[in-house]
Homo-oligomer: A and B are copies of this chain.
Amino acid sequence: MIIVMRPYVSEDAVAEVIDLLADAGLDAEVVTDQDRPVVLTGAMESATTASLVGLDSVERVIRVEGPARLVSRAYSSKSSVIDASGVAIGGGTFIVIAGPCAVESKEQMLNTARSVAASGARMLRGDAFKPRTSPYAFQGLGEHALKIMADARDETGLPFTAEVLDPRHVELVASYADLLRIGTRNMSNYALLKEVGRQPKPVLLKRGRTATIEEWLSAAEYVYSEGNSNVVLVERGIRSFEHSTRNTLDLSAVPLAKGLSHLPVMVDPSHAAGRADLVPALSRAALAVGADGLLIDVHPDPKAAKVDGDQALLPAQFADLMRDLKAIAPVVGLAL
């Protein structure tokens, strides 16, 4: 059960609720969601519910099943719209975030940024810290890359997202990026989830490549319950026996997650497929299935890319894709 209190109620009012629950034999946990305390507790008898609803300090009492509570539709039937430095994710607009997988040089990044901006991308991507299977592979340029991204933002006016890998880097990455990102390998890295939950920048949360939808929503709950309600889910493919693609893009997860949760859901077809030739078709499908946006890898010279070049579109291919998406979007009721 979730007890949503009125905004700015006193600590005494919260204590009154907790005492009332304790009398009914229930433990309670208090989190803060946008200026109001929210009390989480277990299943209760109807008499207890009635007492709570009778309190002036309580706005509503909600029954929720499962571990994901604050991110569930039961908690908020209204779909969330997340603000990332002025770009609204969710709420009827289809957002495309584009750029290289990793920042490699200022020239590579600025060229890419200008071209994707011209084609209609609303945000930039480009990572500073890369999680790599091998310790000997290129691990990213670190803070230097974040500075290049800030330059690209200055030049194009587009905000940017960057991945954070280590709880000790959250402050650094958040000091530059407009939208933090948790990668698939770290979806169950709870220390990291809690840390991004304790700061205010919005967070893209990629689905673990082996995570069920319930586990993915529970990971979002980790961020949300620490006080950061600005979470965007990203489907990016799951691991299956089929190895023609690097992962199996699970587009069913988009309507499923949007049915279970009020959070926006984006799709990353580049990392799902791991091959550029499939990206346009999967992008169109993601739009048609009801996603709130896309993350697309674009690189001016994919063959020379230090990371994941096989999956990057050329700027001209990206421009073609944006044209297709703009034609479909109004038919499915989205602005692009």
Which A residues are closer than 8 A to B by beta carbons?
29, 40, 67-69, 131-137, 165-169, 185-186, 188-192, 194, 208-210, 212-215, 218, 221-222, 225-226, 238-245, 248-256, 259, 272-273, 277-278, 281-282, 284-290, 324, 327-328, 331-332
Contacts and interface: CB of A to CB of B under 8 A. Distances in A.
A270 B308 CA distance: 34
A273 B250 CA distance: 11
15 contacts: A67-B137, A131-B190, A134-B218, A134-B221, A165-B190, A189-B189, A212-B241, A212-B244, A213-B244, A238-B241, A242-B250, A245-B256, A281-B288, A284-B289, A327-B331
Given A242-B250, A244-B252, 9 more contacts: A29-B136, A131-B190, A134-B221, A166-B191, A212-B242, A212-B243, A212-B244, A254-B281, A259-B277
A245 B252 CA distance: 8
Contact of A136 (B40, B284, B290, B331): B40
Contacts of A332: 284, 324, 328
The oligomer's copy count stands at 4
A240 to B, nearest CB: 5
B240 A255 contact: no
A240 B245 contact: no
Contact of A289 (B166, B282, B290): B282
A278 B255 contact: yes
Nearest to A189: B189
Nearest to A246: B252
A256 B244 contact: yes
A281 B273 contact: no
Contacts of A218: 133-135
A209 B212 contact: no
B213 A210 contact: no
A139 to B, nearest CB: 8
Given A67-B136, A238-B241, A242-B212, A278 B252 contact: yes
A96 to B, nearest CB: 15
B238 A255 contact: no
A39 B202 CA distance: 42
* Most B Cβ at <10 Å: residue of A192, A250, A252, A256: A252
A317 B131 CA distance: 42
A210 B211 CA distance: 9
A245 B241 CA distance: 12
Contacts of A286: 285
A238 B248 contact: yes
A137 B190 CA distance: 12
